[in-house]
Amino acid sequence: MQTDIEIAQAAEVWPIEKIAEKAGLTAAEWEPYGRDKAKISVDESARQDGLGKLILVTSINPTPAGEGKSTVTVGLADALSLAGKKTMVALREPSLGPVMGLKGGATGGGYAQVVPMADINLHFTGDFHALTSAHNTLAAVIDNSIYQGNPLNIDPRRLLWKRALDVNDRALRHITIGLGGPTSGVPREDGFDITVASELMAILTLSHDLMDMKARIERIVIGYTYDKEPVTVKDLGVAGALTTLLKDAIKPNLVQTLAHTPTLIHGGPFANIAQGTNSIRATKTALQLADYVVTEAGFGADLGGEKFLDFKVPLLGKTPDAIVIVATVRALKMHGGLPKTELTEPNLDALSAGLANLGQHLKSMSRYGVPVVVAVNRFVSDTPEEIEMVEKYVRERGAEAYMADVWAQGGAGAPELAQAVIAATEQESQFTPLYAPEDDAVTKIEKIVQTIYGGAGVELSDKAAKQLREFAKRGWDKMPVIMAKTQYSLSDDAKKLGAPTDFKIHVREFVPKLGAGFLVALTGSILTMPGLPSHPAAYDIDIDENGQITGLF
Ligand code: ADP
């Protein structure tokens, strides 16, 4: 069996001008970045075309068994193209940390992939480098301001802005800087976040244009003064420089699927401490260019899905026309208690128990008033009886499940799913938001916990409760809430698989992200700088004298 990279390397990749033409871009709207990638900048207001149909792909809670959300996103788009529909994909950019850490990229798999796969998973068009540079420029400016007499009265013990790197490096989580005597700065504790966790990443993906981005950057709160007053990037006076560093990164990147469906890949914020979807600009542009846009939200429907619907939709100004929930028989069996080593064995009891996880997501996504379709990402070990059990379970709950055999067959592996999605987008739908913008933070979180997670309610730590009282005084308490929770469980305990009930979500701390425009609610121990596993993927990656890469995936 061929690996993902072997399939990608054997693919016929069209020159990017042909993809730009297929997407309907005018010559002024794109600039080549090599032979098979382009940066695009479409003026939203100049294009008066109506918007296409938006299809949101989300999933059950991820397990180490893999769900293949990106694979289904790409395969569904190719299936829609095969059905004669003008389609585009809008995906996130992969972070290098996980690429070198755990096996698995973000460009799909098998015959449902985006190319050039290696480039996209490595340095792509440099967006992450620009973000890392901008992030660390701000960090350097903050420390320099403290060193140069501290005119802003910044309290070095109350800084929120750390440094950033797109590498999984646990040794950098907590560091001491400024050592080496009076000419080397002021010693203090610091740390690194992975670049995708930077507020600048969230901002890049939320900004409509350069001036919107600059205004958002100005609002970033980097820490507090000795009098506990917030200090912003505007106070430091470097929003212009940071925006300049991001002038090209703000432009979406154009590539293609193996079947030449035009694809925009842009921005990659985490789906726990940020919104977890590709950029507003890329989604909007795709909607202006294509009749069907397939996009994906990170992790499960409880994290990325909820954030897409409650946070991104109002900013995008467009609600989805259909929601696709991806499930696999293997992952459902894990939710039913089966260990990873036994997933290839048929086991209807474990599947039956694990289906409750799909059931909760089906219920929570259906409440938004948008038609929901289930896609079963087919693995070779799935038996007909297992697949039938999933289909029956979904049908009993008023929806339909369809096979997606796109990993093995590309778009040709999901004709029925494509037709079902087209039909779903044609149904009348009335989007029903989960909460009102004016709801306070606790009300918002309660609605998320009770309706989306199926839990009982929320418990705030003393610190979190005190923070909310302070935020209320500053008018920050009405911002949308971004839940930073484990992706593995509907609860905040990663070990509670399936569909737990009667649990409470414990918020230990809030982090205000004024530039991005949300409050992060930290639950459990959320890491913003991952580590490498005992056998990092980096051990298996190699390149030969012809530049041929192996082992990327
Ligand atoms: P997600 O988006 O849920 O993280 P991906 O689509 O990136 O998942 O897939 C993760 C990995 O699983 C990829 O290497 C892909 O090739 C593999 N994969 C996905 N679907 C299948 C499948 N049906 N059969 C075998 N491998 C698959």
CB 268 within 8 Å of CB 93: yes
65 annotated to a ligand binding site: yes
Q: How far apart are CA 435 and CA 519, in angstroms?
A: 15
Same domain flag for 301 and 402: yes
Kindly give the residue spans of alpha helices, DSSP state H, lying in 310-460: 313-316, 329-335, 348-366, 384-396, 406-409, 415-426, 441-447
Separation of alpha carbons 483 and 504, rounded Å: 14
Inside any domain, residue 253: yes
Q: Same domain for 279 and 400?
A: yes
Query: Cα(32) to centroid of ligand 1, in Å?
Result: 29
CA 68 – ligand 1 centroid, Å: 4
In angstroms, the CA 37 to CA 255 distance is 5
> 452 near 435, Cβ under 8 Å?
no
Looking at the domain assignment, is residue 265 inside a domain? yes
Q: Is the CB of 108 under 6 A from ligand 1?
A: yes
Structural domain contains residue 502: yes
Task: Say if 76 falls within a structural domain.
Answer: yes
283 in contact with ligand 1, CB cutoff 6 A: no
Per-residue pLDDT of the chain (553 residues; tens, 9 = 90+): 788 888 888 889 999 999 999 999 999 999 999 999 999 999 878 777 789 999 999 999 999 877 899 999 999 999 999 999 999 999 999 999 988 988 667 899 999 999 999 999 999 999 999 999 999 999 999 999 999 999 999 999 999 999 999 999 999 999 999 999 999 999 999 999 999 999 999 999 999 999 999 999 999 999 999 999 999 999 999 999 999 999 999 999 999 999 999 999 999 988 888 889 999 999 999 999 999 999 999 999 999 999 999 999 999 999 999 999 999 999 999 999 999 999 999 999 999 999 999 999 999 999 999 999 999 999 999 999 999 999 999 999 999 999 999 999 999 999 999 999 999 999 999 999 999 999 999 999 999 999 999 999 999 999 999 999 999 999 999 999 999 999 999 999 999 999 999 999 999 999 999 999 999 999 988 889 999 999 999 999 999 999 999 888 7
Q: Which of 315, 366, 368 is nearest to 44 (CA)?
A: 315
Residues 358 and 410 in one domain: yes
Distance, in Å, from the CA atom of 239 to the CA atom of 459, rounded to the nearest integer, reads: 37
Looking at residue 135, its amino acid is H
DSSP class of 202: H
Q: CATH number, domain at 147?
A: 3.30.1510.10
168 Cβ below 6 A of ligand 1: no
Domain boundary among 426, 457, 487: 426
Can you tell me which atom of ligand 1 is nearest the CA of 107?
A: 7
Indicate whether 117 and 214 sit together in one domain.
no
The answer to the question of whether 63 is labelled as a binding residue is yes
Residues 206 and 253 occupy one common structural domain: no
> Which residue owns the Cα nearest ligand 1 atom 25?
379
Within a domain: residue 534? no
Say if residue 492 is in the same domain as residue 508.
Answer: yes
User: Does 418 lie in the same domain as 387?
Assistant: yes
Token pair recorded at residue 55: 């299809």
Radius of gyration of the chain (CA): 23
ipTM: 0.98
The reply to whether 117 and 138 lie within a common domain is: no
Q: What distance in Å separates the CA atoms of residue 517 and residue 512, rounded to the nearest whole number?
A: 8
Whether residue 64 has a cis bond before it, omega within 30° of 0: no
Backbone angles phi, psi at 399, to 5 degrees: -125, -175
pTM for the full predicted model: 0.96
User: Where does a domain end: 204, 219, 246?
Assistant: 246
- Residues 298 and 414 both lie in one domain: yes
Identify the domain containing residue 483 by its residue range.
441-522
465 and 401 within one domain: no
Whether residue 96 is found in the same domain as residue 150: no
Cβ-contact 355, 332 below 8 angstroms = yes
Query: Angle CA(218)–CA(224)–CA(230) in degrees, nearest 5?
Result: 45
Q: Report the number of distinct structural domains present in the chain.
A: 3
479 and 395 fall within a common domain: no
Please give the distance, rounded to the nearest whole angstrom, from the Cα atom of residue 64 to the centre of ligand 1. 11
* Residues acting as catalytic residues: 69, 71, 92, 103, 271, 299, 379, 407
165: enclosing H helix or E strand: strand 163-165
276 lines ligand 1 (CB under 6 A): no
